[in-house]
Structure 1
Amino acid sequence: MKVTYVTDGDTLWVQPAGGGRPVKLRLAGIDAPEICQAGGRAARVALASRVARRTVVVATQRHDDYGRAVATVHLDGEDMAGWMVAQGHAWSYRYGREGGPYLRLQAQARSAQRGLFADPQALPPRLFRKRHGSCHPGGDGARRG
Structure 2
Amino acid sequence: MKALIGLAAAAVLALTAGGIKAAIPGGPTGPEPTEGAATRVRVTAVVDGDTIRVETLGGRQLGRVRLLGIDAPEVAHPPTPAECYADQATDLLEELAPVGSTVQLVTDSGQPDRDRYDRLLRYVDHDDVDVAHELLARGAARRYEAAQDLAREDSYAAAADDAQEAPRGLWGTC
Superposition TM-score tier, normalisation by shorter sequence: 0.7 to 0.9
Q: Which runs of 5+ in 2 are unaligned?
A: 1-40, 76-81
CA shift at 1:73, angstroms? 0.5
Cα contact 1:43–1:90 (8 A) shared by 2? yes
Partner of 1:66: 117
Greater shift in the superposed pair: 54-63 or 5-14: 54-63
Larger Rg: 2
Runs of 4 or more, structure 1, over 4 Å off, are none
- The AA in structure 1 aligned to 2:68 is A
Identity %: 34
Partner of 2:126: 75
Using the size of structure 1 for normalisation, the TM-score is 0.75
Q: Provide the C-alpha distance between the structure 2 equivalents of 1:94 and 1:103, rounded to a whole number of angstroms.
A: 10
Specify which structure has the higher proportion of helix.
2
Using the size of structure 2 for normalisation, the TM-score is 0.63
Q: Provide the C-alpha distance between the structure 1 equivalents of 2:62 and 2:87, rounded to a whole number of angstroms.
A: 22
Q: 1:47 and 2:93 equivalent?
A: yes
- The AA in structure 2 aligned to 1:64 is D
Number of equivalenced pairs: 119
Structural RMSD (CA): 1.9
Q: Which runs of 5+ in 1 are unaligned?
A: 123-145
